[in-house]
Structure 1
């Protein structure tokens, strides 16, 4: 495994995180803007977990907990740094956070078309539940 620093994001990281997601993450979200990231960090300062190597942002995961569910989003690793244990380190940090908060199960949002991500989640011990569907409604 490479030399990593795992830390939580600050509001000042918003633009760097957004640029990183454009390069390393699959798909986009309605909240992929500076306001969305800074609101997340302002509301839950420990939810956005980052991995850095040599001062460079190389991974991210959002580990949101609302007192009921442990939700995982935006697990991403820079393409040049994949298969070096970064996703594992990020998920370990997220799961430690959830356990400390009393969480019982992590739920990950994974794109149906993203086979690489599905393999990564399965390797981390997560399993697909086919009996659920996500229902959404934009509010703005």
Structure 2
């Protein structure tokens, strides 16, 4: 889908899903545009995401360059949102909103009932963006994590 996001945007923005061969490009984008890092920020992690769920990693592209991302993961139970990021030079043009709209469209199509977003506590800009998109903070929940060892690849 190609859409004009904002009348002041010089190029049209295309919203599409990522391809496996774009894992390195996505990682480079996140290094520039995203806050924080994840244990799965490597080629194997991004490749596995796209291979397992080809519709999960949604990209915004302008003139052949990735300008935004969101991961819209659905496991049959929960709709989970991660890595909403927009290039600093392209912020405040509606790209984040277009990515969220694509994610929500995906979730509604599979019967999703609620989207959950992972947002860093220190990222106030992101908290404001999520609130503006209609999401609200739930302080009565806490995330509990345990990293697993990365399995050795055989082949």
Matching residue of 1:57:
66
The alignment's C-alpha RMSD in Å is 0.4
Helix, strand or coil at the partner of 1:76: strand
Query: How many residues align structurally?
Result: 140
Distance (Å, rounded) in 2 between the aligned partners of 1:89 and 1:13: 21
Per-residue deviation, 1:130: 0.2
Distance (Å, rounded) in 2 between the aligned partners of 1:85 and 1:129: 25
Please state if 1:96 is matched with 2:105. Answer: yes
User: For structure 1, which runs of at least 5 residues remain unmatched after alignment?
Assistant: none
* TM-score when normalising by structure 1: 0.99
Matching residue of 2:40:
31
Helix, strand or coil at the partner of 2:69: strand
Matching residue of 1:132:
141
Per-residue deviation, 1:93: 0.1
Helix, strand or coil at the partner of 1:58: strand
Q: Which 4+ residue blocks in structure 1 deviate beyond 2 angstroms?
A: none
Give the counterpart of 1:113 among 122, 135, 148.
122
Please state if 1:86 is matched with 2:95. Answer: yes
* TM-score when normalising by structure 2: 0.90
Per-residue deviation, 1:38: 0.3
Per-residue deviation, 1:24: 0.1
Distance (Å, rounded) in 2 between the aligned partners of 1:15 and 1:62: 16
Deviations 1:45-99 (A, max 9, x none): 0000000011111000000000000000000000000000000000000000000
Helix, strand or coil at the partner of 2:66: strand
Please state if 1:74 is matched with 2:83. Answer: yes
Larger Rg: 2
Matching residue of 1:48:
57
Distance (Å, rounded) in 2 between the aligned partners of 1:86 and 1:55: 15
